[in-house]
A = this chain, B = another copy of it.
Amino acid sequence: MAGGRVTVIDIAKAAGVSKSTVSLVLQGSPLVNEGTRVKVSAAMRELGYVYNRGAATLRQTGAKSKIIGVVVNDLTNSFFAELAVGVDMVVQSAGFVQFLSNTSESIDRQREVIASMREHGISGLIVSPARATEAADFKPLVAAGIPVVVAVRSLPGAKVSSIVSDNHEGTAAAVRHLASLGHRRISFLGGFPNTAVFAERLTGYRDAVVEVGLGFDDELIVSSAPSRAGGADAIARTMAMGNPPTAAVCFNDAVAFGVCDGLRARGMEPGRDFAVVGFDDVIEAQTAVPALTTISVDPQGMGRRAAQLLLKQINAGKVEAENVTAAVRLVVRESCGAAQRKSREELA
């Protein structure tokens, strides 16, 4: 059975050539005669040869391991699963293979995972960082010349490439849409204020709100945990104030769902009595009742672009940080009160 594995020497012997020649055909060199090439290939098939990439990588100076690491903070969230699929697509067709790990927002786990990946000689890393990640955490990587692309969540001072969705434009579009529906008091609900994503989405809101001629009112900003429960909490606090808003753009879809819950608890129907817009366009957004109007970012496309960015850097050898922002688009469904109730046709 598992007798000694068959090596390049075995097949050299079988084909009556030297191991060097075998190596040459392995890498498709034009130096080798057509006749010997087929002879060698036949022997490989015959003996069931499997290439030992580890040995090859060891010999080659440098780190051309054909492995790229992917680290996401929550694979359970379909947004990140899609992201990983996008990465896998392009990485795979470039002849690389993907090391994927999930950190569950644990920074310790993230450190372990990245260390392990380094030991395995990854030639690049795509990471959607766990919450408390600091820019310095990637210092050793870039010092070792390993390209890093940070995705989804931007990392303030890090000297690495990044790809994030256009948070600013997203919330701005949401505000413009709500204003066009006649809303004059629009809230911004949910999210932890000390994160980069929050800051970006908030300034998008703020800029748009003055752009359309509504004044900016501090009172209308109500932060909370970026979760369903957080949303319910935020809307409760919001509606308790003197001059409550009639619409809200939410930090993300989870918050938006919570806001809907909270509205119903006060006897108000989202979409009819109050307009709600989310952010992310998670799958549930289309099937929920009412279907959620939200800002859609294409996670799979984002994964693909992240991978392309990384591969470019790997091939270039030169590591030069590049920051790209992915376009987003407003998807109008029911929760903003604008549309026709026919969300279901989107599903096919």
Query: A54 and B51 in contact (CB under 8 A), knowing A78-B81, A82-B76, A289-B344?
Result: no
- For A241, what are the chain B residues with a Cβ–Cβ distance below 8 Å? none
* Contact flags A1-36 to B (C-beta < 8 A → 1, else 0): 110110000000000000000000000000000000
Verify B48–A140 contact, CB threshold 8 A: yes
A55 within 8 A of B: yes
A67 within 8 A of B: yes
Query: A348 and B229 in contact (CB under 8 A), knowing A85-B102, A121-B53, A140-B48?
Result: yes
* Closest B residue to A88 using CB positions: B102
Verify A52–B119 contact, CB threshold 8 A: yes
Query: A162 → chain B, closest Cβ, in Å?
Result: 21
Interface size on A, residues (CB 8 A): 59
Considering the chains assembled together, what is the distance between the CA atoms of A229 and B157 in angstroms?
Answer: 49
* Contact flags A199-240 to B (C-beta < 8 A → 1, else 0): 000000000000000000000000000001100000000000
A134 within 8 A of B: no
Query: A122 → chain B, closest Cβ, in Å?
Result: 10
- For A101, what are the chain B residues with a Cβ–Cβ distance below 8 Å? 88, 92, 97-98
Verify A264–B57 contact, CB threshold 8 A: no
Verify A116–B145 contact, CB threshold 8 A: no
Verify B53–A119 contact, CB threshold 8 A: yes
Output the residue of A51, A63, A102, A344 with the most chain B CB within 10 A.
Answer: A102
Considering the chains assembled together, what is the distance between the CA atoms of A63 and B140 in angstroms?
Answer: 29
* Contact flags A79-92 to B (C-beta < 8 A → 1, else 0): 00110110010001
27 contacts between A and B (CB under 8 A): A1-B143, A1-B145, A2-B143, A5-B144, A48-B143, A52-B121, A54-B54, A54-B120, A54-B121, A67-B120, A75-B88, A76-B81, A76-B85, A88-B100, A92-B112, A97-B99, A97-B101, A97-B117, A98-B100, A99-B99, A229-B348, A264-B343, A283-B284, A284-B284, A284-B287, A287-B288, A289-B344
